Amino acid sequence: MSYAYLFKYIIIGDTGVGKSCLLLQFTDKRFQPVHDLTIGVEFGARMITIDGKQIKLQIWDTAGQESFRSITRSYYRGAAGALLVYDITRRDTFNHLTTWLEDARQHSNSNMVIMLIGNKSDLEARREVKKEEGEAFAREHGLIFMETSAKTAANVEEAFINTAKEIYQKIQDGVFDINNEANGIKIGPQHSPASQSLNVGGSGGNQGGNCC
Amino acid sequence: MSESEEEAAFASADEGEEGKARGKKDLKEEEEPKQREGVGTDGDKKLTIQQDAAKVGGIKGKGKQQPAQKNKKKGSKSSQPLAKETQQPVPKPVSPPKSSPDPQAMSSTSSAKSTSSVEPPETDKGAPLKATSELVSKGGKKVVAQKSKESISQETSTKIKSETLQEDQPTALEAGSRNSLEIEKVLKNETVESLSTAVTNTENNSEKVETKQAADVRKGLQSSIVPSPEKQDIPRGEKDHTAQQEEVLKKLTESVEKTSEGGWGWSSWGSSILTAATQSVQTFSHQVGDGFSTIIDSVESSLSIPDPEELVRAQGVTEPTPITEEPPTAVVSQPNELKMTRQFQEEKRQGEFNYDRDDDDDDEEVKDWKGAEGDQHKEAGGGGCFSSWGVADLAKKVTDKGKSLASKGQTLMAGGFDAVENLASSGIDVLESIGKKTYNTLSEHDPAFRKTREFLSPKGNKPNLSSVLRDARDKAELESEQIKENEEARKAHFGTLFDDYQGIAHLEALEMLSNQSEKKVHSLLNSLSSQDLAAIKPLLISIKATFELKDDEDDSDTTSDQDFNGVVSQCLTELELGTAPDKLNRVHDMVKRWILDFDAHETHDNDSLKEVHQRSIQALAEITAKGVEQLHKAGELVLLDREKEKDFKERAQSLARLTGVLCHEIGNLATQFAACLNKMADKTDTVDEITPLVTNVYLEATNSSTYIQDAFLLLLPVLQHAAIEHSILSRQS
């Protein structure tokens, strides 16, 4: 599973807006109605293809609880993209967007691509936040906006992939310095047979140690 | 065409009279040269003996042609530069058609064409001479006209012929040579252009011309004193001679006798005959132009040139008493062939335009001829063999020589016309088809071939399609093989599997957390008062000691099998973080089950060594990842749980124990996997393969422990951070 680039995403937003469900839908294509409370951060990964290039998305699904805020802030660093999620059925989640956005902007690099996601679009009846509001907020803060449904998988793929496309475009435009891992972008590992066989030889542990 | 020809004929007739009259005067003075031709004529006669009367008529007609041609030369010599200019202002009405040589030229045969086309310019200058020549060239028609209009006796005419021949020689040498060159040039151009059309016309015209010629000539012959010398025996011809003729002949013979020197054989005589014959043919071929040089051979063969041997036979028939000296067999025929060509050209030029170059040779040959004739004469007289011929006969032959020589040429030409026509037309057809084929071949097949070659030749540099495809296929195979290998490697690659289980991500996150905590610890320590610092310092040191102690514990712990799940759960409970080791225990249970399964089944033939190895590495990676995750979570919860009243040293010790348990368990699993592999090795005798696999399992187990210990060490700042914050908070509260 070699890849050209690795993008680090973070998913942020109030607790219970469906961050982990979005990740699960994106990585496993399944929906889990009852989800454990996320402790700290959870991880998901998936390969996508953009412009004929394999890109691995490493997604950090952060805990939305306020108590974890201090911890999750430390994970913002080095993210290339952020999914800022609110629940369209809960106005307060939308109202907290500004705080989250400030947090994200403060603790990550300025070029980070932020996608505003109004989740639970399947629950139209319980909608509290109009789509236009979301659009307006996104426009105001220079975000990409989408309404998704982790349950129905509506726009879930698009949300992740469009973000990746935006990041990729920024790479092409030279906005991102791909050699600086603080930008949340890693160049894919060399996967020549020689190196592979070497790794098979058991140097993986050392490699892993280096990663730390 | 017929009109124009007739006009031309009339004009030329008028002029021809003058020319001949003039020629007479000049030529009478020189009779001797004529004689040698006379000898040739004799030969000609013999040649033509077997030919039919019609041809003989042609020969006679030709006899007139020759002098005319010579006259032409004469005229052309003087008038050459002006010739073309004067072409148009020709006084006679004939000129317009003449000036445009092509129509007329085309109408007549190729040879006739050549003369006619060249001559029109000359007509005006040497008008009289030219006329005759034109007549000749245009065929028997004109000859007839000439004959009828000229009331010249045959004697005079013969004289004129012979004389003109001689007379022309000196004068016409230069002009002739020039002319011939020019003519040939012109011919080349014109023939090429007009030939194709001419050939078609020729078919029609030549037949008419020939028939007319034959008829006319015959008429002329009948009217003249010499009737039909063809069938003629020579004695018969003798009788036909008029008194005047005989006089001339006598003179000739006398001169011949005088001039004749040296012995001569029949061979040379015969050769001269052949020479004459071939000459006319060659003349013809020359006139036709270089373009037809290639078909000369065929022309010659198709023309009425008699085979030398036939000639000899003919001689044998006509002359029952051959000369004793040399039998007229192969000796006669063979040497001739060589001489033929040479004399040929000489004579031809004589007959045509040139005398110049070969003049000397000619003279010699003439002498030879004379000598031959003289010999012949002598022998005839002395030996009695030729008594029947008689001197008069010989003389007559001599006189006829010019005539017959010329006529012979004409005959040959006339006979050749057909062949030439056929040859020309068919030859042109052939050439055309050859050309077409060549063109087609070049334009269609060759270019394609060239392209093919172009395509093929750089092949050496560029890889061709098949090799490209082969390379691509090999590459694809190699790639797929690599992918397969990579997949295989991935399955057994600890690092990759560890990443897949998000072990690396957790480790990374833990590292970030640790770094952040470390910073916090430093800032908090700086912010703390010395008192607070002193209060918390022992805790921090003890926590640190706990983390350092861990290695020692590790060694002591590596004993027997442990209740992993129980120990882990106990550890986590001690941490009081509210986290259950669900994931870790689940994975561990799974691995344990697999190992038990493996042990339960005595036979593992289904499982390849690789699969067992992969399973081992996968289990290690997964457990390690879960262990790291567990530590990561513990760290997060420690930070989160700072408000709780808890001894951080105990937490640290619990974490240390957890780490120890994890590492121990990993070691245990590795040992068990190694045992499984060894078990297989005993059964399958694949020790060599298993040894590296077992080594690899142990190696990756060490790596797993390293990961876990790394994660544990990363918790130190987190714990310290939590401890400090807790102390601060507790104090504040």
Question: Both tokens of residue A6?
Answer: 């690795």
Q: Which amino acid is located at B85 in the chain?
A: E
Q: Which amino acid is at B195?
A: L
Q: Do A193 and B485 touch (CB under 8 A)?
A: yes
Rounded to the nearest angstrom, the gap between the alpha carbon of residue A38 and the centroid of all alpha carbons in its chain is 15
In a domain, A195, yes or no: no
Token digits for B281? 């043919």
Using pLDDT thresholds of 50, 70 and 90, give the confidence band for residue B181.
low
Q: Check residue B374 and give its pLDDT.
A: 46
Residue B428 has pLDDT above 60, yes or no: yes
Beta-carbon contacts below 8 Å between A and B = 107
Q: Which of B489, B513, B710 sits opposite A212 (nearest CB)?
A: B710
A174 among the known binding-site residues? no
Provide mean pLDDT across the span B91-100: 42
Is the confidence at residue B380, as pLDDT, over 80? Answer: no
What does the pLDDT read at residue A100?
93
Give contacts of B696 with chain A, Cβ < 8 Å.
200-202
Q: Which of the residue ranges B44-53, B336-345, B492-501 would you say has the lowest mean pLDDT? A: B44-53
Binned at pLDDT 50, 70 and 90, residue B326 comes out as: very low
Whether B633 sits inside 8 A of A40 (CB atoms) is: yes
> Are A45 and A59 in contact, with CB atoms under 8 Å apart?
yes
CA-based nearest distance B704→chain A, Å: 7
Confidence at residue B563, expressed as pLDDT on a 0 to 100 scale: 75
Is the per-residue pLDDT at B66 higher than 60? no
Of A58, A78, A204, the CB nearest to B494: A204
Quote the CA–CA distance of B393 and B400 in Å, as a whole number.
10
pLDDT over 90 percentage in chain B? 2
Task: State residue B130's pLDDT score.
Answer: 45
Looking at residue B443, what is its pLDDT? Answer: 65
Give the pLDDT of residue B36. 45
Lowest mean pLDDT among A90-94, B284-288, B389-393: B284-288
pLDDT (0 to 100) of residue B272: 64
pLDDT band at A81 (very low <50, low <70, confident <90, very high): very high
- Confirm whether A209 is domain-assigned: no
Structural contact between residues B283 and B305, judged by C-beta atoms closer than 8 angstroms = no
pLDDT tens digits, B354-370: 444 444 444 444 445 54
* HEC sequence for B406-465: HHHHHHHHHHHHHHHHHHHHHHHHHHHHHHHHHHHHHHHHHHHHHHHHHHHHHHHCCCCH
Distance CA B198, CA B189 (A): 13
Domain count of the fold of chain A: 1
Please state which of the ranges B377-386, B450-459, B469-478, B624-633 shows the lowest mean pLDDT: B377-386
pLDDT band at B400 (very low <50, low <70, confident <90, very high): low
**What is the distance in angstroms between the Cα of A177 and the nearest Cα belonging to chain B?**
21
- What are the chain B neighbours of A189 within 8 Å (beta carbons)? none
Mean pLDDT of B431-443: 76
pLDDT of B561 reads: 59
Q: Is B254's pLDDT higher than 70?
A: no
Give the 3-state secondary structure of residue A80: coil
Amino acid B253: pLDDT: 63
Give yes or no for residue B40 having a pLDDT over 60.
no
Contact A200 B639 (CB under 8 A): no
Number of Cβ atoms within 10 Å of the Cβ of B76: 28
Instruction: Write the pLDDT tens digit of every residue in B458-468.
Output: 555 666 788 88
The answer to whether A171 touches A4, Cβ cutoff 8 Å, is no
Predicted local distance difference test score (pLDDT) of residue B471 = 87
Average pLDDT for B242-248: 67
Chain A residues whose beta carbon lies within 8 Å of the beta carbon of residue B632: 40
In this structure, of A8-22, B483-497, B499-513, the range with the lowest mean pLDDT score is B483-497
Residue in B221, B274, B244, B272 with CA at minimum distance from that of residue B399: B244
Model confidence band, residue B600 (pLDDT cutoffs 50, 70, 90): confident
Binding-face residues of A in 68-87 toward B, CB within 8 A: 68, 70-71, 74-75, 77-78
Hey, are the CB atoms on A205 and B495 less than 8 Å from each other? yes
Rg (CA), chain B: 63
Residues 6+ apart with CB under 8 A from B481: none
Mean pLDDT of B520-540: 86
In a domain, A200, yes or no: no
Model confidence at B352: pLDDT above 70? no
Is position A180 within any domain?
yes
pLDDT of B585 reads 83
Cβ-defined contact of A74 to B506 (cutoff 8 Å): no
Evaluate if residue A57 carries a pLDDT over 80: yes
Of A97-106, B170-179, B373-382, B435-444, the range with the highest mean pLDDT is A97-106
- The size of chain A, in residues, is 212
* Three-state DSSP state, B123: helix
Nearest CA in chain B to A208: B495
What backbone phi and psi angles, to 5 degrees, belong to B612?
-65, -45
Q: How confident is the model at residue A10 (pLDDT cuts 50, 70, 90)?
A: very high
Q: Do B512 and A75 touch (CB under 8 A)?
A: yes
For A56, the closest chain B residue by CA position comes to: B500
CATH number, domain at A29? 3.40.50.300
A146 in a domain, yes or no? Answer: yes
Whole-structure pTM value: 0.50
Question: Residue B265: its pLDDT value, please?
Answer: 52
List Cβ neighbours of B40 (8 Å cut-off, separation of 6 or more): B272, B273, B275, B276, B347, B369, B401, B404, B405
Confidence of residue B730 (pLDDT cuts 50, 70, 90): confident
B720 has pLDDT over 80: yes
C-alpha distance from A8 to closest chain B C-alpha (Å): 10
- Nearest-Cα residue of chain B relative to residue A68: B640
Residue A205 maps to a domain: no
CA distance B650 to B597: 38
Domain that holds residue A131: 3-185
Determine, for residues B703 and A41 on separate chains, whether the beta-carbon distance falls below 8 Å.
no
The mean of the pLDDT values for chain B is 62
pLDDT for residue B11 is more than 50 = no
The Cβ-side half-sphere exposure at B187, using a 13 Å CA radius, reads: 26
Distance CA B449, CA A28 (A): 61
Q: Measured at the alpha carbon of residue B35, what is the angle toward residues B238 and B401, in degrees to the nearest 5?
A: 55
Tokens of A79: 């993210």
Mean pLDDT of B322-328: 45
Residues of B in contact with A212 (CB under 8 A): 507-508, 511, 707, 710, 714
| Nearest chain B CA: its distance from A3 CA (Å) | 13
Chain B neighbors of A70, CB-CB under 8 A: 639
- Cα B287 to chain centroid, rounded: 36
CA-based nearest residue in chain B for residue A10: B509
Cβ neighbours of residue B266 closer than 8 Å, sequence gap 6 or more = B315, B322, B323, B325, B326, B328, B332
* Residue from the list B490, B695, B707 with its beta carbon closest to the beta carbon of A208: B707
* CA distance, residue A61 to nearest chain B CA (Å): 11
Please check the confidence at residue A29 and state whether its pLDDT lies above 80. Answer: yes
Please give the residue that has the higher pLDDT: either B399 or B733.
B733
**Is A49 annotated for ligand binding?**
no
pLDDT of residue A91: 94
Between B288 and B671, whose confidence is greater?
B671
**Is the Cβ of A205 closer than 8 Å to some Cβ of chain B?**
yes
> Of B694, B700, B679, B565, whose CA–CA distance to B619 is shortest?
B700
pLDDT at B648: 81
Range B226-249 average pLDDT: 52
Percentage of residues of chain B with pLDDT beyond 70: 36
**Under the phi-then-psi rule, with left for phi > 0, alpha for psi from -120 to 50, and beta for the rest, what region is B452?**
alpha
Q: What is the predicted pLDDT for the residue at A31?
A: 93
Provide φ and ψ at A116, rounded to 5°. -90, 125
Residue A65 annotated as lining a ligand binding site: yes
What's the pLDDT tens digit per position in B639-684?
887 666 677 888 888 888 888 888 888 888 888 888 888 877 777 6
pLDDT, mean of residues A155-182? 88
Using the beta-carbon criterion (under 8 Å), do A205 and B706 form an inter-chain contact? yes
Mean pLDDT of B484-490: 75
Residue B542 makes CB contacts below 8 A (sequence gap 6+) with B649, B652
Helix (H, G, I), strand (E, B), or coil: what is residue B690? helix
Q: Is residue A192 part of a domain?
A: no
pLDDT in tens, B613-628: 888 888 889 889 988 9
Q: Please state, in angstroms and rounded to a whole number, the distance separating the CA atoms of residues B701 and B518.
A: 29
Residue A60: which region, alpha, beta or left (left: phi > 0; alpha: psi -120 to 50)?
A: beta
Which residue did the predictor score with more confidence, B688 or A44?
A: A44
